[in-house]
Chain A
Amino acid sequence: MKKPALILLTLMLTFSTLWGGAVAMGVTQIPHEDPTKAENHYSLSLPLLNYANAISLMACRNYSEAGDLIQQLESSHANLPEEVQFVMSRFNDLAADLTERLDRLDVVLDECEILLSQNEMDATPRKIVEARGLVAEIGSLIGNVNTAMDELILQTAPFISAREAASVQASEARLRESMGKLAQLEDWYKDLLENMESEAGKKETLTATTLTLQTRSSRAWVGESLSVWGNLIAEGVPLAERAVSLHISNSQIATVNTGRDGYYSTWLTLPYWYDVDEVKVHAFYYPEGEDSDRFSATSSEGINIAVMFHPTSVQIEAPSKMLPGLPSEIRGKVNSRGKISGRNVQALLDEDPLFQISTDDDGYFSRDIMIGEEIAHGEHSITFSVAPDNESRSAGTITVSSLDILKAKPVVTLRPPGTIFLPAKLEPTGKIFPPLSSIARIKIEGEVHSSLPLNEAQAMLEVAGASSTSFVNGGEFSVEMEVPFSFSRVGLQEIKLRLVPAEPWQLPSECTTEVLIINLAYLLVLVVVLAGVGVEMIMHRPHGLYERKDKLPSYVEEPHEPLREEVIWLPEAVPIAKENRGVILKAYYSAVAWIQKIYGILLGPQMTLRDFLNQVSSSHSRFAGVLTRLTGLAEKALYSQHAQGEDEASLAQDLSAQIKKQGSEEQKT
């Protein structure tokens, strides 16, 4: 018994080892790692190097890219030590501020340059003052950025790994170099500003000019030509043959030359601007050529002109709710004091074109539309835009109406049978496996309700892995399907009905319920197995006769001689020539079996032959004498070393026969 246990233990150990291997092999080659076990390390040279790049970009006056780069270095998401992050954040703020000021200074200096070139001596000094202020701020900011840079380098030092030391050192050197270039830029701006101030000083000696602008009307229609005129004078002297440019609301509309008396006049056509009520007209004079060294630039006072046009409106009669797939009419009328016939109306459903139409003579339009089924249900909008008509000076208009696309969700209820039995029907298939096709035909009844018409909806029924499709209409319905047999289909099973309506205004719907499936074959198998087990148990029950000897300790523990292996079992003795012992035992067993069968007295596993004799004698005394003699012979056959004679064998057979005979007679009576 030790050997099998050892084998079992070995097997289990082997199995455990294999199991460990199998689980370890469970780790596939998916490219990812456990974040909690990942190694943490910083990259410190990268921010320093990129700050150096950003400062270099600033030094090259590429402020937009420098600003973008600094924005990218926003430190809150960076994987860096907190101390470094804090200084980086401060450095970022200062650098961003510096970039913004430098950019602004560039713009202001450009404006100064233009004003100076145009001899705009009224506006130039203000711009120069602004630029001077910016240069001072920039000087202060560069100092602060330098301090922050030193602090940043100081803070990063403790976290630099040996591997990164060289690259960090190179980045630091690059950053310091960039800061040097930035200081040079500051000097360059200072020089530029000084030059401009010097030039502005020179131009203050130019002759001042005056420009006037007049018009007859303070209002005009869109597209109407407006008469304007004025004079250009330099210290009381008219300036002849000089170009005057006319602007409407900052857009240059016309250019006209002055006459000999400095007078100019022209017609300005008001643009078709329907989105403004008023425009401002200005006249400008910019000295050109030799005039640049003689006269300053000037502009006229602005004149406000009220803009006139015919407002347009549109009235829409459109359904607020629509069903996809069903036609609906949209009507409308364009109202305007200008032209209303032939006006172009465009309709957009959300952002997609819906239709385009022209109005009739009375400004009406109508259109039948049908929304496709692909549209999602819910709130949508229809935008109607009427194009402006410049000929009649009629403005355009836009109006938006909301549209609710309706889709109904049918409500499905199922009334399945309480129980389904499997298999309900057997059909030969002619195949080797499975030899029979067995199914259960089930009928499911139910109801479908929808607030909108529903016809020929596709109903997909799924039960226990099987499915079938049929078509149902609104109201009551009945669906039949065949459920193929499988032993795994047993117990409560889900029934699912999916409804896919044909109408575009209906939404798909589904309903789920449960049904009890009783698998008769499964039950049959269970009964067979249980019966088999029962039979097996019964077959092995009479241990007293057919069981192993080791279950009869009293039988073997009181031997007159040492127990031999052969007597462990109670063999069915076979009469063989010269084998009287077997004949005796067979006769005894035959009698015992017969008593057991007739009287139900069992030779239990713990009983000796003598115990059995006592039990039989106490309840059936008529057998006592015969059975005592037979038991004596059987004991002798079992335990004695001496061979039994033929007479004893014959006697045993007679005694056994007597017992059976007596018993049978008693049964008959």
Chain B
Amino acid sequence: MLIRKMSLMVLAVLLMLAMLVWFYPSSGDFEGKNSSWNGSSNFLSRFQATPLNSLSSLPSAPEETTLVTIPYLEFTSADLEILKEFVATGGSLVILDDFGYGNQILKYLGVQARFSGSLLLDPLFNYKNENFPRTFTFSSSLAEGGIETVTFNHATCLEGIPQENVVAQSSYFSFLDEDYDGEWCEGEVKGPLPVIAINELGEGRLTVIADPSILINGMLDMGDNYLFLEEVCTDKIYLDLSHLPETPLDKAKQRLREIRDWLGTIEGMLGLIVLTLVLTLKHYVGLKSKLLSQGQRRGND
């Protein structure tokens, strides 16, 4: 009897856990459903962007389409090929990265540009402190669009970019803090350093931005970040969420989705039916045998 009750309780707790996991808002960085400071829910809603859980869902005709990717997970060769094809056939690819796998994409696309991978600090032109460098040197096309400053959040810089492709630079006082001591030391590269570059590639366009955090909810309205993103993200916008690290909560949500999907298959549904029947029959048979044994005991008495 106790085992049965315990089983029911465990089942109830598991169900509660599943429901909580299912409905609890995601807290993952850049997650489209995360409405706190580090999510991208505002970007998705204000830009009417479509979140992508797989690059294979990209439209086959990418003209007038922008794909925004934050490469914090390694790309498979299939994904890289999709990106290459996307740009080659007229799509606009926006890579926002600082310390992730952006260079893997750039290398595959055959461009010289690279993310430096060192922390960019600006002790003078910043928001609050040197970790939030502000850039206010833009190409004429961006400046004409009314963009005066873009604020970053723990950014890096770009390397190997031809000067004509650079559209935004950090200030003269910025530097790459290669030893992470927060101060400029002899030998550390000083600004101005390229932070945003746009390059025509094939039939499409490649935009490289040295900080993905400019699109998170907490940064989107800082300076002219929104205006700038409006300039580079045009037409139909897709946000690639498939290369973001998963939090345990995200993983749990994913497992639940997989379970739901599996239950949608023939095997899953049949399994569920069999399980239900077994439990029902077991309950019935168990009850019956119990009654019989009690009857026998009574008889013995």
Contact = CB atoms under 8 A, between A and B. Distances in A.
Given A26-B247, A28-B29, A7 B6 contact: yes
B295 A571 contact: yes
A8 B222 CA distance: 48
Nearest to B9: A8
A528 B29 contact: no
Nearest to A576: B299
Given A46-B173, A77-B134, A40 B129 contact: yes
A173 to B, nearest CB: 20
Contact of A26 (B124, B218, B248, B261): B248
A486 B2 contact: no
Interface string A505-531: 001100000000000010001001100
Contacts of A539: 284
Nearest to A571: B295
Interface string A526-547: 0011001000100100000010
Contact of A43 (B29, B130, B299): B130
A46 B129 CA distance: 13
A26 B264 CA distance: 29
Nearest to A437: B266
A508 B300 CA distance: 85
Contacts of A561: none
Nearest to A570: B291
A22 interface: yes
Given A34-B37, A532-B276, A28 B245 contact: yes
B101 interface: no
B115 interface: no
Nearest to A433: B267
Contacts of B128: 35, 38-41, 79
A485 B61 contact: no
Contact of B123 (A8, A15, A46, A374): A46
B24 A72 contact: no
A434 B267 CA distance: 7
A498 interface: yes
Among B124, B265, B268, chain A packs the most CB atoms within 10 A around the CB of: B124
A574 B299 contact: yes
Interface string A554-594: 00000000000010010111101001011000000000000
A487 B264 contact: yes
A30 B98 CA distance: 10
B13 A8 contact: yes
Contacts of B300: 579
A36 B221 CA distance: 12
Contact of B294 (A31, A486, A566): A566
B171 interface: yes
Contacts of B38: 30, 32, 34
A22 B252 contact: yes
For B5, B10, B99, the residue with the greatest tally of chain A CB atoms inside 10 Å of its CB is B5
Nearest to B62: A508
Contacts of B111: none
Interface in B73-103: 98-99
A25 B248 CA distance: 7
A192 interface: no
Interface string A423-457: 00000000001101010000000000000000000
A460 interface: yes
A434 B269 CA distance: 12
A35 B13 contact: no
A237 interface: no
Interface residues of A, number: 68
Interface in B117-151: 119, 123-132, 134, 136, 149
Contacts of B2: 3-4
A165 interface: no
A571 B291 contact: yes
B297 interface: yes
B72 A30 contact: yes
A11 B13 contact: yes
Given A532-B277, A573-B298, A546 B291 contact: yes
A342 interface: no
A392 interface: no
Contacts of B268: 487
A12 B296 contact: no
Interface string A459-500: 010000000000000000000000001111000000000101
Contact of A11 (B9, B28, B171, B203): B9
B266 A15 contact: no
Contacts of A436: 266
Contacts of B301: 566
Contacts of B130: 43
Interface string B234-268: 00000000000101111010000000110111111
A50 B173 CA distance: 9
Given A33-B154, A79-B124, A38 B131 contact: yes
A460 B60 CA distance: 10
Contacts of B108: none
Nearest to A565: B294
B225 to A, nearest CB: 11
A77 B136 contact: yes
A31 B297 contact: no
Interface centre among B125, B276, B280, B297 (most CB of A within 10 A): B125
A582 B299 contact: yes
A498 B266 contact: no
A22 B249 contact: yes
B265 A569 contact: no
A576 B119 CA distance: 89
Given A28-B28, A30-B38, A582-B295, A35 B222 contact: yes
A270 interface: no
B207 interface: no
A573 B16 contact: no
Given A32-B29, A77-B134, A571 B216 contact: no
Given A23-B24, A35-B222, A500-B61, A43 B124 contact: yes
Contacts of B153: 32-33, 35
A32 B216 contact: yes
A32 B247 contact: no
Nearest to A377: B63
Going nearest first, the 5 A-B pairs with the smallest beta carbon separation are A488-B264, A508-B61, A571-B295, A26-B247, A72-B172
16 contacts: A4-B6, A22-B252, A30-B213, A32-B213, A32-B216, A33-B131, A35-B132, A39-B128, A72-B172, A77-B171, A434-B267, A486-B264, A488-B260, A498-B60, A571-B294, A574-B296
Given A79-B129, A487-B269, A529-B276, 20 more contacts: A4-B6, A8-B12, A11-B13, A19-B17, A22-B248, A23-B27, A26-B248, A28-B29, A31-B98, A36-B218, A50-B173, A77-B171, A79-B127, A79-B134, A433-B267, A539-B284, A566-B301, A571-B294, A574-B292, A574-B299
Interface of B: 2, 5-6, 9-10, 12-13, 16-17, 20, 24, 26-30, 37-38, 59-61, 63, 72, 98-99, 119, 123-132, 134, 136, 149, 153-154, 171-173, 203, 213, 216, 218-219, 222, 245, 247-250, 252, 260-261, 263-269, 273, 276-277, 280, 284, 291-292, 294-301
